[in-house]
C-alpha cells in the first residue's frame, strides 16, 4: 500500500527551523545534520509556506530510519528548488491595473527537486504524489517508480487569466460510497494540501473540470460543483487553487435525493447562496461537511449575536 | 421579511439542508418558560435529554444532521447549573463518535456579555457570528420593499439613498416603524393622494425625529432641561459654583466686547 502523505507529514516530520536558517552551518550542528548535502523540511502547511516565502529557494528535511544502510537517522531525502522568474506583466482588475501577487508567481513557476540516494521508497512515493497534485492538465500522472537523478516538472503555463480561487466545492465521484466513508479526515486534509496550485477551468457558469487525485493508493475523482472567485469580466477564466482557498467536500450523490433537486444546475444554487445570509451559509456548509465526513475537525457550535430586529 | 436575522438564519438553513437529507430542528429556547422545568436542575436534565434525543435521531437515521437551536440563550444560560450542563454537552458532542458528531448546536442572543466566558472558548461555541444591522445599500433595498409593499409606489432612488445614509444603526424593524411614521405624518398633513413625488427626504427626516435606531437608544442624549434644583449637594457649594460659573461667563462676555491684540493693546478706540 502506498504510504500516506499525511502520515509522513503528521507523524514523522516537523518543521525544523525557519526556511532562511536551514542552510546555515549552525543549524546543521544544532540538529546533528551532516555537513554537506541538501536538507529537507516537511511541514503540513507546505503550500502556505510556498505562498508566504519571498526567497526563491526552499529546503526540506525528513527524519527517518533507513534499514538498508543501517543509518539510524537519515535526514537527507530531497532538495527542492523553486525557481522564480520575475514577471513584469500586469493584470486588469476592476478597471485598475494591479500587479499579480507574489504568491501567484511562486506557484506558477517551474519546480525542480533532486532525490538523495538514501531516500527510501516512501519518500519517492511522496514525490510522485506531489507531482500528481501539481499536474495542471487534469490528467492523472502516475507515480514515479524510481527516481535517481533530478526530476523536473513544469507547472501550469503562466496565464494572465489565472484568478485566485476563494472557494471550491468538490463532490466525490467514487463508484461506491464505501470508498468515501473509509477516508479519514487526514486524507481529506492531504487532498486539500495537494490541491494547492491546481488550475480549474470555469466557463459560462458551467464547470468543465474533473479533478483526479491520488491519496493512499486510492484514486479519487471529484466533480467541481461550485467555484467562487473574483471574476473580472465575462471571459473564460482559469482559476487557481491557493492554500487559502476554502475547499468543501460533498459526499457522493445519494440515490434517494429527489430527482428535481439532483438536477438543479449550478446557477440555481449560486443564486440561492447569494440570497442567503452569511450565518445561513455557514450553517449549511457545516451540515454539508458533517454529512460527508467525520465532524471532529469541524466547528459545530455557533453563537449568533447581534441587535434585535435585524430579521424583521 | 428581511432574511438576515438570527432566528431566520437557522430556520432557513434547516429548510435548505432538508434537500440533502433529514435535518430535524430541535428548539430549546422555550425550556424555561414552558412550565416543564421548575428548577435549574430540572432544566439541565431536560437540556441533556433533548441533546440525547437529537444524537439518537442522528445515529439511527442515515445521513441525518440535527440542528439544536437555543434561542435567546442568555435567559437559559443565566443559571450556572444550566450553563455548566451545556458546556459538558458541547464537550461531549465534539468528542463522541456516532450521532453526537452530527449535532450542530446554534445559540442566539442579543446580550453576548451575558454568556459565560467558559462557553465562548474554542471547543464549545467554536464560532461566533455577528448578525449585523444592514448597511446603506441593504437599507435602500429594505426601504424600497417596505414602501412598495405598503402603498404600491416606489420613491426615487436619490431620496431612498439620502434617507438610508442618515439611518445609521437602523435595523429592519426600525425601518418598518419609520415608514409607518412617514405615512402617519403624510395623513396628518392631508396628503391623501400619496405619490412618489410627495415622499421627500424631508418627510423621512421629520419621521426620524420620532423614530430612532433602537440599538442606539442607550447612547442617545436626552435633554430634559436639568436645573440646579435637580442636583444634590450642599446649597452653599451650589451657590458658590453658580457664582463662579456666572463670573466666568461674564468675563468672557466682557472680553468679547473689548477684543485685544496679541501684543496686549486694545484694538478698539
Residue A264: how many CA atoms within 13 Å on its side-chain side? 15
A246, A280, A308, A309, B110 from B131: Cα distances, Å: 22, 10, 9, 10, 10
B23 burial type by CB count under 10 A (0-12 exposed, 13-18 middle, 19+ buried): buried
CB atoms B128 and A275 under 8 Å: no
Q: What is the mean pLDDT of chain A?
A: 47
Model confidence band, residue A137 (pLDDT cutoffs 50, 70, 90) = very low
3-state secondary structure of A206: strand
The bridge status of strand A210-215 relative to strand B66-70 is: unpaired
Show the DSSP H helices in B167-260 as ranges.
172-188, 201-208, 235-257
Q: Is B104 on the interface with A (CB under 8 A)?
A: yes
The A residues from 12 to 41 touching B (CB cutoff 8 Å) are none
| Chain centroid to CA A135 | 12
| Contact indicator for B171, B214 with CB cutoff of 8 Å | yes
Q: Interior CA angle at B87 toward B81 and B92, to 5°?
A: 125
pLDDT value of residue A194: 64
- Give CA–CA dist B154/B199, Å, rounded: 9
Least reliable range by pLDDT among A179-188, A277-286, B48-57, B196-205: A179-188
A183, A194, A234, A300 from A168: Cα distances, Å: 20, 14, 19, 21
Most confident range, picked from A71-85, B114-128, B190-204: B114-128
If we measure between CA atoms, which residue out of A141, A272, A209, A278 comes closest to residue B6? Answer: A278
pLDDT value of residue B74: 85
- Give CA–CA dist A202/A235, Å, rounded: 10
pLDDT value of residue A42: 35
Of A282, A291, A304, the CB nearest to B63: A291
CB atoms B21 and A261 under 8 Å: no
B75-84 confidence digits (pLDDT tens): 888 888 888 8
Q: Interior CA angle at A205 toward A202 and A208, to 5°?
A: 40
Model confidence band, residue B138 (pLDDT cutoffs 50, 70, 90) = confident
Spell out the SS3 assignment of A84-105: CCCCCCEEEECCEEEECCHHHH
For residue B93, what is the nearest residue in chain A, using CA coordinates?
A: A300
Of B67, B94, B214, the CB nearest to A309: B214
- Give CA–CA dist A225/A169, Å, rounded: 6
Most confident range, picked from A14-18, A151-155, A203-207: A203-207
Model confidence band, residue B55 (pLDDT cutoffs 50, 70, 90) = confident
- Give CA–CA dist A30/B89, Å, rounded: 47
Of B132, B176, B214, the CB nearest to A306: B132
If we measure between CA atoms, which residue out of A60, A51, A154, A58 comes closest to residue A105? Answer: A51
The B residues from 174 to 213 touching A (CB cutoff 8 Å) are 174, 176
Mean pLDDT along residues A267-283:
62
The B residues from 126 to 155 touching A (CB cutoff 8 Å) are 126-134
Contact list, A283 vs chain B (CB under 8 Å)? 9-10, 13, 17, 67, 104, 106
Q: Is A218 on the interface with B (CB under 8 A)?
A: no
For residue B99, what is the nearest residue in chain A, using CA coordinates?
A: A295
CB atoms B172 and A309 under 8 Å: yes
pLDDT value of residue A27: 56
Q: Is A287 on the interface with B (CB under 8 A)?
A: yes
Q: At residue A74, what are phi and psi to the nearest 5 degrees?
A: -105, 110
Q: Is B121 on the interface with A (CB under 8 A)?
A: no
A81-100 confidence digits (pLDDT tens): 333 333 333 333 332 233 33
Model confidence band, residue A51 (pLDDT cutoffs 50, 70, 90) = very low
CB atoms A300 and B104 under 8 Å: yes
- Asked if the model's pLDDT at residue B5 lies above 50, the reply is yes
Q: Is A181 on the interface with B (CB under 8 A)?
A: no
Q: A40 to chain B, minimum CA–CA distance in Å?
A: 34
Least reliable range by pLDDT among A183-197, B2-16, B202-216: A183-197
pLDDT value of residue A311: 73
- Asked if the model's pLDDT at residue B94 lies above 70, the reply is yes
- Asked if the model's pLDDT at residue A133 lies above 60, the reply is no
| Contact indicator for A27, A66 with CB cutoff of 8 Å | no
Q: B182 to chain A, minimum CA–CA distance in Å?
A: 19
Q: Is B57 on the interface with A (CB under 8 A)?
A: no
3-state secondary structure of A246: strand
Q: What is the mean pLDDT of chain B?
A: 79
CB atoms A254 and B10 under 8 Å: no
Least reliable range by pLDDT among A130-144, A183-197, A222-236, B251-265: A130-144
For residue A252, what is the nearest residue in chain B, using CA coordinates?
A: B20
Contact list, B86 vs chain A (CB under 8 Å)? none
Least reliable range by pLDDT among A158-172, A179-193, A254-268, A291-305: A254-268
Mean pLDDT along residues A254-271:
41
Q: Is B113 on the interface with A (CB under 8 A)?
A: no
Q: Is A1 on the interface with B (CB under 8 A)?
A: no
pLDDT value of residue A33: 54
Least reliable range by pLDDT among A42-56, B5-19, B60-74: A42-56
If we measure between CA atoms, which residue out of A231, A211, A237, A238 comes closest to residue A222? Answer: A211
Q: Is A271 on the interface with B (CB under 8 A)?
A: no
pLDDT value of residue A293: 63
Grid coordinates representing A32 are 546533528
pLDDT value of residue B38: 64
pLDDT value of residue B264: 54
ipTM score of the complex? 0.74
- Give CA–CA dist B72/B223, Å, rounded: 33
- Give CA–CA dist B105/B126, Å, rounded: 10
CB atoms B129 and A282 under 8 Å: yes
Amino acid at each position: 500500500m502506498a504510504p500516506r502523505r499525511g502520515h509522513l507529514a503528521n507523524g514523522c516530520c516537523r518543521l525544523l527551523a525557519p526556511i532562511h536558517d536551514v542552510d546555515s552551518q549552525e543549524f546543521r550542528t544544532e540538529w546533528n545534520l551532516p555537513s554537506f548535502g541538501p536538507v529537507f523540511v516537511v511541514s503540513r502547511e507546505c503550500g502556505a509556506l510556498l505562498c508566504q516565502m519571498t526567497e526563491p529557494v526552499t529546503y526540506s528535511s525528513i527524519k527517518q530510519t533507513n534499514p538498508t544502510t543501517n543509518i539510524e537517522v537519515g535526514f537527507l531525502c530531497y532538495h527542492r528548488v523553486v525557481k522564480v522568474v520575475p514577471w513584469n506583466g500586469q493584470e486588469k482588475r476592476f478597471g485598475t491595473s494591479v500587479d499579480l501577487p507574489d504568491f501567484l508567481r511562486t506557484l506558477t513557476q517551474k519546480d525542480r527537486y533532486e532525490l538523495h540516494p538514501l531516500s527510501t521508497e516512501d519518500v519517492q512515493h511522496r514525490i510522485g504524489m506531489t507531482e500528481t497534485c501539481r499536474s495542471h492538465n487534469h490528467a492523472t500522472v502516475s507515480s514515479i517508480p524510481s527516481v535517481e537523478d533530478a526530476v523536473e516538472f513544469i507547472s501550469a503555463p503562466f496565464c494572465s487569466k489565472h484568478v485566485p480561487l476563494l472557494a471550491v466545492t468538490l463532490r466525490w465521484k467514487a463508484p461506491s460510497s464505501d470508498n468515501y466513508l473509509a477516508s479519514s479526515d487526514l486524507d481529506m486534509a492531504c487532498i486539500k494540501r495537494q490541491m494547492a496550485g491546481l488550475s480549474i477551468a470555469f466557463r459560462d457558469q458551467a464547470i468543465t473540470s474533473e479533478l483526479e487525485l491520488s491519496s493512499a493508493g486510492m484514486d479519487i475523482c471529484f466533480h467541481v460543483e461550485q467555484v467562487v472567485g473574483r471574476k473580472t469580466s465575462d471571459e473564460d477564466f482559469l482559476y487557481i487553487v491557493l492554500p487559502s482557498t476554502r475547499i468543501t467536500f460533498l459526499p457522493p450523490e445519494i440515490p434517494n435525493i429527489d430527482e428535481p433537486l439532483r438536477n438543479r444546475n449550478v446557477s440555481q444554487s449560486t443564486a440561492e447562496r447569494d440570497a442567503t445570509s452569511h450565518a445561513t451559509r455557514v450553517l449549511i456548509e457545516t451540515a454539508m461537511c458533517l454529512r460527508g465526513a467525520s465532524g471532529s475537525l469541524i466547528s459545530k457550535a455557533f453563537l449568533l449575536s447581534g441587535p434585535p430586529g435585524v430579521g424583521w | 421579511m428581511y432574511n438576515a436575522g438570527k432566528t431566520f438564519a437557522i430556520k432557513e438553513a434547516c429548510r435548505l439542508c432538508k434537500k440533502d437529507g433529514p435535518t430535524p430542528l430541535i428548539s430549546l429556547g422555550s425550556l424555561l418558560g414552558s412550565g416543564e422545568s421548575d428548577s435549574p436542575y430540572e432544566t439541565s436534565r431536560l437540556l441533556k435529554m433533548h441533546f440525547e434525543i437529537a444524537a439518537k435521531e442522528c445515529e439511527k437515521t442515515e445521513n441525518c444532521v440535527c440542528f439544536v437551536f437555543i434561542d435567546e440563550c442568555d435567559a437559559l444560560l443565566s443559571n450556572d447549573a444550566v450553563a455548566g450542563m451545556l458546556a459538558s454537552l458541547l464537550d461531549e458532542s465534539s468528542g463522541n463518535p456516532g450521532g453526537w458528531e452530527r449535532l450542530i448546536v446554534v445559540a442566539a442572543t442579543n446580550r453576548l456579555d451575558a454568556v459565560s466566558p467558559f462557553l465562548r472558548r474554542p471547543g464549545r461555541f467554536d464560532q461566533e457570528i455577528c448578525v449585523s444591522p444592514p448597511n446603506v445599500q441593504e437599507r435602500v433595498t429594505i426601504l424600497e420593499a417596505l414602501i412598495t409593499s405598503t402603498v404600491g409606489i416606489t420613491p426615487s432612488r436619490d431620496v431612498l439613498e439620502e434617507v438610508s445614509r442618515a439611518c445609521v444603526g437602523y435595523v429592519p424593524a426600525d425601518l418598518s416603524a419609520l415608514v409607518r411614521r412617514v405615512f402617519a405624518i403624510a395623513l396628518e398633513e392631508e396628503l391623501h393622494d400619496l405619490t412618489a413625488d410627495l415622499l421627500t427626504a424631508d418627510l423621512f427626516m421629520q419621521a426620524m425625529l420620532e423614530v430612532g435606531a433602537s440599538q442606539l437608544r442607550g447612547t442617545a442624549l436626552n435633554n430634559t432641561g436639568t436645573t440646579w434644583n435637580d442636583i444634590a449637594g450642599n446649597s452653599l457649594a451650589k451657590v458658590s459654583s453658580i457664582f463662579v460659573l456666572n463670573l466666568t461667563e461674564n468675563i468672557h462676555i466682557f472680553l468679547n466686547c473689548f477684543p485685544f491684540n496679541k501684543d496686549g493693546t486694545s484694538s478698539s478706540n
